[in-house]
Structure 1
Amino acid sequence: MPFDHNDHYHRLLLRQMPPNCRTALDVGCGTGRFARRLAGLGIEVDAIDPSEEVVAEARAMAAGPAPGDRGPRFRCTDVTEVRLPHAHYDFISCLASVHHMPFGTVAALRDALAPGGVLVILGCYPERTLLDWAWSLAAVPVNAVVRLAVYARDGLGSAATGRTQTQAPVTRPTMPLLQIRREAAALLPGCRIRRLLFWRYLLVFRNAG
C-alpha cells in the first residue's frame, strides 16, 4: 500500500521550523524525501544515513534539479561517528531514526543547533503500557482507512511503474516512551513530547541560545 507513516507527518515537522531557516541537517535521511522537501524551500541541507544503498538511491532521486535549485548534500555516514559542526544548523530533523542509535546521541544534535535552532524527532516506541496499547488499537482502523484512500487515489503506486524503491533498514524500537521522556528531559531541557496516532511521537527542542 502506497502510504508511509513518516511522510504523513512531513507537514507537521515543517511547521516546527524556525523563522528564516537557512541550514538544516536530516539525520537518517533514508531515500531523502524529507531532505528534498527542505531543499525545495531554499534551505541548505545536509542529509546523512549509514546505509550506502539508500544514500545511492537518494542521490539518484535528487539528480537533475531545476536550474538554480540546490539539492540536499547526501552523505553516507553514521551520526554517532561523525563530528558535527558546533552551533551551525537552524533545523535538525530525525524521522524514525533515533531508535537506531543510542538516545544520548541527541546531545550532539543539540550542540549542533545554532541559537534559535530547532531539533525535531519523529520517533518510534514499543508498546509497554495500557495507554500505549490503547493508542495503537485506535490507530489500526484509521490506518486501514487512510491506506485504502491513498491506494484509491494513487492506484497501484510504485507497482504501476514497475519499479521497487529501495527501503532503508528497519530496527524495532526498544526504549519505552516513559524512558524517552526521562532521558529527553535531562538532555534536552524544555523539550516538548507528544504522542502521534500512527505509532510515533513528536519531540521538539528549541535552542534558546
Structure 2
Amino acid sequence: MPFDHNDHYHRLLLRHLPPRGGTALDAGCGTGRFARRLVAHGYRVDALDADPATLAAAEATGGGPRYRLADAATTALPTAHYDVIACLAGLHHMPFDTVTRFRDALAPGGRLLVLGCSAGATPRDLAAVPANAVARAAVYGAERVRGVRTRPPGAPVRQPEMTLPQIRTESARLLPGSEVRQLLFWRYLLTYTH
C-alpha cells in the first residue's frame, strides 16, 4: 500500500526549521523527498545515504540537493556547519550515539530533527493500527482514481531495537535539552537546538 509514514510528517518537520534558510544535512536521505523539500525552503542541502540503489533513485529525481553515497554514522562531517540536520527513519540504522556527531556538526543555533522509529508497542501504537488502515486505503483509492502510482521504490527497512523510554534516556544523556515526543504511526520526533 502506498501511504508513507515518514512523508506524512514532512509538514511537522518543516514547522521546526529555523526561521531562516542556510545549510542542511539530510542524513540517510533515502529517495530524497525531504531533502528536496528543504531545498524548496531555501536550504543548500547535503543529502547522504549509504545504500547505492536508494541514492541512485534520489539522484534520478534531481531537485537540487547534493547527493553523496556515504554512511552518516562514519563519514566526516564539518564541525559547527549545518543550520539543520534531519534524519528521517534512519537513526535506527546507525548507533544511537551518532546524534553526538550530528550535534557537533550543527552551527550555533542549529537544529537537529530526528523522525525516528522505536521498538515495542505502546497504547498510542495500538491506536495507530486503524488510523494506518484508513490512511493507506485513502491514498490507494486516490491513486486508483488518478490511474497512477505516486510512490517510487523505498529505502531498505530495518526493525528498530531501542524502545521509546531508552531513546528518551539516551537523548537526555547525549543531548541535554533535547525533546522526544511520541507520534502516531510508530514514530517519535526528537528535536534539539545547539
TM-score (normalizing by structure 1): 0.88
Consecutive unaligned residues in structure 1, runs of 5 or more? 66-70
**Pair 1:97-2:86 in alignment:** no
Matched residues in 2 for 1:23 and 1:144: separation? 37
C-alpha RMSD of the superposition: 1.7
Matches within 5 A, 1:5-154: 5-62=5-62, 71-127=64-120, 132-154=121-143
Aligned residues: 194
Which residue identity does 2:133 align to in structure 1?
A
Q: Deviations over 1:118-139 (max 9, x none)?
A: 0000000111xxxx33112100
Matched residues in 1 for 2:99 and 2:145: separation? 38
The equivalent of 1:178 in structure 2 is 165
Which residue identity does 2:5 align to in structure 1?
H
User: 1:185/1:75 Cα in 2 relative to 1: closer, same or farther (>3 Å)?
Assistant: same
Consecutive unaligned residues in structure 2, runs of 5 or more? none
SS of 1:12's equivalent in the other structure is: helix
Matched residues in 2 for 1:206 and 1:164: separation? 32
TM-superposed CA distance for 1:152, in Å, is 2.1
Matched residues in 1 for 2:76 and 2:190: separation? 23
SS of 2:155's equivalent in the other structure is: coil
Matched residues in 2 for 1:16 and 1:123: separation? 15
User: Highest Rg: 1 or 2?
Assistant: 1
Matched residues in 2 for 1:156 and 1:52: separation? 33
Which residue identity does 2:47 align to in structure 1?
A
Matched residues in 2 for 1:165 and 1:117: separation? 31
Q: Conserved in 2, the CA contact under 8 Å of 1:48 and 1:76?
A: yes
Matched residues in 1 for 2:141 and 2:155: separation? 25
SS of 1:155's equivalent in the other structure is: helix
Give the fraction of aligned pairs with identical amino acids, expressed as a percent.
57
